[in-house]
């Protein structure tokens, strides 16, 4: 409500557009690469493999719903196969 009355410079708006992506990247990196407080990508190998098609889906469709569905289905498929 307070910010609706302010004129925010275009450069600040462009910078703020990147904040959600940076936060999501940090959360995903923490979840995919850290195990027991140490960097251990091998500890989450299936999740890392499932992240590849999910990232491709996100890049191509820009759809959060499609990305989540592809990631979940890929992980389910990998867990069934392995």
What ranges do the domains of the chain cover?
Answer: 3-81
Helix (H, G, I), strand (E, B), or coil: what is residue 1? coil
* 38-72 residue pLDDT tens: 999 888 999 999 999 999 999 999 999 999 999 99
Cα dihedral 16, 21, 26, 29 in deg (nearest 10): -170
DSSP, residue by residue, 40-61? -GGGGHHHHHHHHHHHHHHHHH
Q: What is the pTM of this model?
A: 0.72
- The rounded radius of gyration (Å) of the Cα atoms in the chain is 17
């Amino acid at each position: 409500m307070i910010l609706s009355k302010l004129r925010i410079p275009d450069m600040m708006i462009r910078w703020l557009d990147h904040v959600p992506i940076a936060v999501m990247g940090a959360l995903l990196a923490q979840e995919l690469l850290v195990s027991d407080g140490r960097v251990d990508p091998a500890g989450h190998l299936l999740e890392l493999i499932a992240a590849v098609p999910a990232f491709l889906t996100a890049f191509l469709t820009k759809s959060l719903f499609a990305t989540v569905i592809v990631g979940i289905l890929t992980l389910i498929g990998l867990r069934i196969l392995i």
